[in-house]
Amino acid sequence: MFRILFHSPEIPGNTGNAIRLAAITGAELHLVEPLGFDFSDAKLRRAGLDYHDLAVVTVHPDLEAAWKALQPERVFAFTSDGEKSYADIAYLPGDVLLFGQESVGLPEQVKNDPHVTARVRLPMLPSLRSLNLANAASIVVYEAWRQQGFAGAQL
């Protein structure tokens, strides 16, 4: 399935929602430290409800450790200055869907990392900064999964 990678997430509720997303869709969730919370945070637990034990969640000490563990063939970095629309990507199982911090997005060095296949954006009205992290990840994961015929899902 798909692999969601949050680079230094800050808000526990977003990561909790992503844990739930991963459990429901069969995606993996990978988190790159530093994290803006710890796993005992009540907001993280509340947002993930009882899905924590059903999701594959891995925490990596840094991006290099994540690359080493994931060994990705394709990485799509989601950013407001992406060159392609998320709807123009033909997603494949195993793709890494990379998202940045809620406050600042992905750092330039991450956007330009040699592992990144393409910078991708979600359409938004002009003059607005960004979409909520968990919502953005949900949109992309469901589009990628849709392209795979919702493999494994009960339709």
Q: What is the per-residue pLDDT for 44?
A: 62
Pair 53, 89: CB distance under 8 Å = no
> By percentage, how much of the chain surpasses pLDDT 90?
79
Mean pLDDT of 107-119: 98
Nearest-angstrom CA–CA distance, 19 and 54: 9
What crossing angle do the helices spanning 133-147 and 12-25 adopt, rounded to 10°? 10
Pair 36, 20: CB distance under 8 Å = no
* Homologous superfamily of the 3-147 domain (CATH): SPOUT methyltransferase, trefoil knot domain (3.40.1280.10)
The predicted-structure confidence for 17-31, as pLDDT tens digits, reads as follows: 999 999 999 999 999
Retrieve residue 145's tokens: 């999964």
The predicted-structure confidence for 31-83, as pLDDT tens digits, reads as follows: 999 999 887 767 666 655 577 778 999 999 999 999 999 999 999 999 999 99
Indicate yes or no: pTM above 0.85: yes
Q: CA torsion, points 120, 126, 128, 131, in degrees to nearest 10? A: -40
